[in-house]
């Protein structure tokens, strides 16, 4: 199975690529500025800036397909990090624009380019956040929830569009909770413990937990889920 992952060099992307590659899948790992390195695993590494124009994105996908074949699963994992420098120091609207450009428009741009390059019964997996549904106070919470809510609404609508147009592709969503990423490692232990205590499970989600969910979605028969949200949060937010 050919699986492509954007944002493959990041906190969730790297363990996701490694888990899927170790399971024997052919992985295409896209980095934003440079090809991510996964040696000795067999991974095709490429550069893909999802904020590029439509033509550039389509050309890069076409080049990869010429090399590895049609794509069975595409994971839109590229996202702007507004919680750590330099964007954590930016103003409210600069943070919003970064999320719009990368998380929202980047996801839409890839989804619109993909149909000619996907295998029949292929699956697009888009990355959201569980608190898009429940909300989270503060500037970053407002912005991140708004961007991820847009992705969820778009993903479910796109799944219906594919079905109406008889395009044999599925679109599903992963909604992680509090994941122990670079930002989580940078905050003080008191804040880490407080956030964990406020979750239903009492603990942070590991990037490996998100990778396990995507791996499970990859293995599901095509008729099982379409337009579905897969929550990875220990029951903290349910929808």
Domains detected in the chain: 2-180+206-232 (3.40.50.720)
Q: Are 31 and 11 in contact (CB under 8 A)?
A: no
pLDDT digits (tens, 9 = 90+) for 130-174: 999 999 999 999 999 999 999 999 999 999 999 999 999 999 999
What is the average pLDDT across 34-51? 94
In the predicted structure, residue 186 carries a pLDDT above the cut 80: no
Helix (H) or strand (E) holding 153: helix 139-164
pLDDT for residue 200 is more than 80: no
4-18, 115-129, 195-209, range with the lowest pLDDT: 195-209
% the chain with pLDDT above 70: 100
**Separation between Cα atoms, residue 169 and residue 230, nearest integer Å:** 17
pTM of the full structure: 0.94
Contacts of 111 (CB under 8 A, 6+ apart): 76, 124, 126, 154, 158, 171
For the residues 82-101, what does the mean pLDDT come to? Answer: 96
What pLDDT is stored for residue 178 in this prediction? 85
- The predicted model gives 124-131 an average pLDDT of 96
pLDDT category at 40 given cuts 50, 70, 90 is: confident
pLDDT at 174: 98
Within 10 angstroms of residue 142's Cβ, the number of other Cβ atoms is 15
Q: pLDDT-based confidence at 68, cuts 50/70/90? A: very high
Residue 208: pLDDT over 90: yes
Instruction: With a cut of 90, say whether residue 194 has pLDDT above it.
Output: no
The neighbouring-strand residues paired with 45 are 29
Q: Quick one: pLDDT at residue 42? A: 87
What pLDDT does residue 168 have?
96
When the pLDDT of each residue in the chain is averaged and rounded to a whole number, the result is 94
Q: What pLDDT, on the 0 to 100 scale, is given for residue 39?
A: 86
Q: Has residue 187 got a pLDDT over 90?
A: no
**What is the pLDDT confidence band of residue 193, given thresholds at 50, 70 and 90?**
confident
Cα 226 to Cα 2, 24, 39, 40, 80: the distances in Å are 19, 25, 34, 34, 26
């Amino acid at each position: 199975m050919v699986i492509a992952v954007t944002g493959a060099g990041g906190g969730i992307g790297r363990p996701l690529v490694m888990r899927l590659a170790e399971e024997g899948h052919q992985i295409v790992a896209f980095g934003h500025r440079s090809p991510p390195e996964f040696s000795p695993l067999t991974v095709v590494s490429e550069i893909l800036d999802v904020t590029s124009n439509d033509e550039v994105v389509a050309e890069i996908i076409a080049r990869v397909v010429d090399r590895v074949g049609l794509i069975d699963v595409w994971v839109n994992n590229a996202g702007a990090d507004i919680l750590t420098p330099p964007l954590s120091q930016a103003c409210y609207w600069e943070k919003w624009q970064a999320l719009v450009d990368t998380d929202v428009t980047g996801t839409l741009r890839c989804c619109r380019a993909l149909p000619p390059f996907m295998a029949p019964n292929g699956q697009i997996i888009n990355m959201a956040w569980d608190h898009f549904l429940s909300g989270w106070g503060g500037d970053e919470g407002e912005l991140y929830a708004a961007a991820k809510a847009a992705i969820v609404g778009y993903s479910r609508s796109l799944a219906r569009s594919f079905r109406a147009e008889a395009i044999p592709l599925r679109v599903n969503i992963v909604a992680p909770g509090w994941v122990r990423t670079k930002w989580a490692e940078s905050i003080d232990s008191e804040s880490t413990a407080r956030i964990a205590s406020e979750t239903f499970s009492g603990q942070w989600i590991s990037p490996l937990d998100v990778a396990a969910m995507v791996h499970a979605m990859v293995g599901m028969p095509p008729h099982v889920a379409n337009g579905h949200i897969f929550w990875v949060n220990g029951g903290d937010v349910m929808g």
